[in-house]
Structure formats: structure tokens, C-alpha cells
Amino acid sequence: MKKSARASEKLLRLAVVGCGAIGSEAVRALVKKPLSRAYRLAGLCDLKLERARSLARLFHYPVPIHSDWRNVLDDADLVLESASGEVAGPLAEAVLARGGDVLVLSVGGLAGREGVLRRLAEKGGHLYIPSGAIGGLDAAQALALNGLKKVTLITRKPPLGFRGSPGAARLGLDLGRLKKEVRLFRGPAKEAVRLFPQNVNVASLLEWGVAAAAPIHVEIYATPGLRTNTHEIILEGRAGRIRIQVNNFPSQANPKTSRLASLSVIAMLRKISANVRIGT
Ligand SMILES: NC(=O)c1ccc[n+]([C@@H]2O[C@H](COP(=O)([O-])OP(=O)(O)OC[C@H]3O[C@@H](n4cnc5c(N)ncnc54)[C@H](O)[C@@H]3O)[C@@H](O)[C@H]2O)c1
């Protein structure tokens, strides 16, 4: 067999559902090494077909495009979901039920399906959830093995980053006119995810990572004048205390999304295909 033929057989067939800020940055990374050596783009899906079409033009081979995510499943070994919370749950279930692998960004959309998804993944597929807009999940999970006493997540964002959230709407605030910091929420992670579905994927991430070890307490603030989306995570464990602070610049394509979230997908795609893996 020719060396090039052997190499292409090994490529993982990746489909991307959602070609917005995160999906399009991940797709652009697939054109370049090292990801171009590990993946073949097997399909692109977006309700706005033109977004998928213009990304498909970056590749020297034909990339099928779709507006319905169900149509990408047959051709992919791994499906990247970067669309919305409504898509994430049904898509992850459908992929895992077929024994495939799925990488989910809209992690808040998986709420209530943890048990089903873990059971489906045991049949042979993989559910990958990248660290998204935060870091330190590796250390948090390691600390949790020895028992956690308390986990606190404090999120601060510029007020307009909360526009459209049911949690902000119920307070009746004019987010564009806030003069000083306002606490929008204080309570358990599950409730935060329900009230701020587009903003606290981070709370969901912690739920997946460490909630089995300790309940997660969340505080959310709208902070005028803030330029970054900031997350502070404090874990009190028996083996030590971890304090993680992330100050994220917003993505230019979508200010509600942190640039780090796109980069975390690219880092995870690298890790999935790498022979050398650093961190857990
Ligand atoms: N895990 C994290 O830390 C983290 C961080 C940021 C964003 N997110 C989540 O990732 C997702 C993508 O974020 P983004 O900034 O790229 O959003 P975006 O709005 O820029 O892009 C989403 C794209 O998905 C498409 N889309 C929506 N519904 C679809 C459907 N049913 N079928 C096909 N395409 C569909 C939209 O047309 C759009 O092009 C969002 O759900 C967001 O909440 C997660």
C-alpha cells in the first residue's frame, strides 16, 4: 500500500454542527498541521447554509454541507457540536447510540441527560467535553478524588453579555444602563444553568467534572466597565485548596463567547489524535 493511502485510511472523519464563532475557528484549524494530518472534514452543518458553504471552500477535497444535523451522522467517526443547547442533547444521544464519538460545546444543553449519556457512552462511543471557557478541570478532578468540601464558581461579565438570559430578564434591569456591579444570581449550579443557559456553560462543565464530589455554589455578576469575561473557581479539598481565575477576551465573531472556548476545542482535537498527551 502506498504511504499516502495508508495515511488517509487513518484519518478520523470529523463532522461539525454549528459553523459560528467556535465551529468556524475549529474548522479553520483543520486546514493546517497538525490537525490536517489527523482529521478529514466529513461534513459541515449549519442552519445558515452559507456559513457552511464558505468554510467548505477552504478544503482541497469536497466537503458535504447540510442544514439538518441528522444528515452528518452516517459519514462521521466524531461529531463536533458547536450549535446550541437545543441541539446538544439529542445530537449527543444519537451519536453515542450509534457507537460514535461526540465533542460537545453547548454543555448546558446536556442537563438532565447525564445518566443516559454516560450509559450510552459505555457501549463504545466517547463523549468529549472540552474545558471551554475555563481551565484547571484536570486538577479539579484530581482533587475531587480525595474528597471536596466545597466548590464555588464566581462569574463576572459585562452587562450586555447577559442580554436575553431568563435570569437577567426576571430582574427587569436595563442592562445597558447599569452604573455599578449587580449580582444577578446566587445559588446552586443546576439553577444557574437553567436561568443563564448561554452564559454559564462553565457551571455545567463543573457539574460534569466534580459535582459528584460536592455541590457547586454559583454567583453571577453583571459588571459595568469590565472588558473580560471572568470566572473564579475555588475548590476546597481534603488534599488542598485550588483557586483558578480566568480572564477571557470575548470572541470577535460572538461577544457572548470567550475566545478561549474556540481554542479549547482545537486543543482537545489535538489531544484526541495525539500520541503524547500532557495533563489528564
Ligand atoms: N463550553 C463552553 O465553555 C462554551 C463557551 C462558549 C460557548 N459555548 C456554546 O457553544 C455553542 C456555540 O457557540 P458560538 O459562539 O460558536 O455560537 P454562534 O452563535 O457564533 O454559532 C452557532 C452556529 O450554530 C448554528 N446553529 C444553531 N442551531 C443550529 C441547528 N439546529 N442546526 C445547525 N446549526 C445550528 C447557527 O446558525 C450558528 O452559525 C453555543 O451553544 C454556546 O453557548 C460553550
Class of domain 137-256: alpha beta
Orientation angle between helical segments 21-30 and 259-273, nearest 10 degrees: 40
**pTM score, two decimals?**
0.92
- Check: CB of residue 17 under 8 Å from CB of residue 79: yes
- Tell me: the pLDDT tens digits for 102-160? 999 999 889 889 999 999 999 899 999 999 999 999 999 999 999 999 999 999 999 98
- For a pocket test of ligand 1, which of 53, 55, 81, 84 has the largest count of ligand atoms closer than 8 A to its C-beta? 84
All structural domains of the chain with their residue ranges: 3-132+260-273, 137-256
Considering 60, 126, 217, 231, which one is annotated as catalytic? 231
Q: How many CB atoms lie within 10 A of CB 37?
A: 11
Atom 33 of ligand 1 has which residue's CA nearest to it?
Answer: 46
Give the mean pLDDT of 193-217.
85
Q: What is the pLDDT of residue 6?
A: 44
Q: What is the pLDDT of residue 280?
A: 61
46 CA → ligand 1 middle, Å: 10
Q: Is the CB of 233 under 6 A from ligand 1?
A: no
Closest ligand 1 atom number to CA of residue 256: 15
126 has catalytic annotation: no
d(CA 202, CA 236): 18
- Tell me: the pLDDT tens digits for 56-97? 999 999 999 999 999 999 999 999 999 999 999 999 999 999
In CATH terms, the fold of domain 3-132+260-273 is Rossmann fold (3.40.50)
Look at residue 4 and tell me whether its pLDDT is greater than 70: no
18 CA → ligand 1 middle, Å: 6
42 CA → ligand 1 middle, Å: 19
- Check: CB of residue 215 under 8 Å from CB of residue 153: no
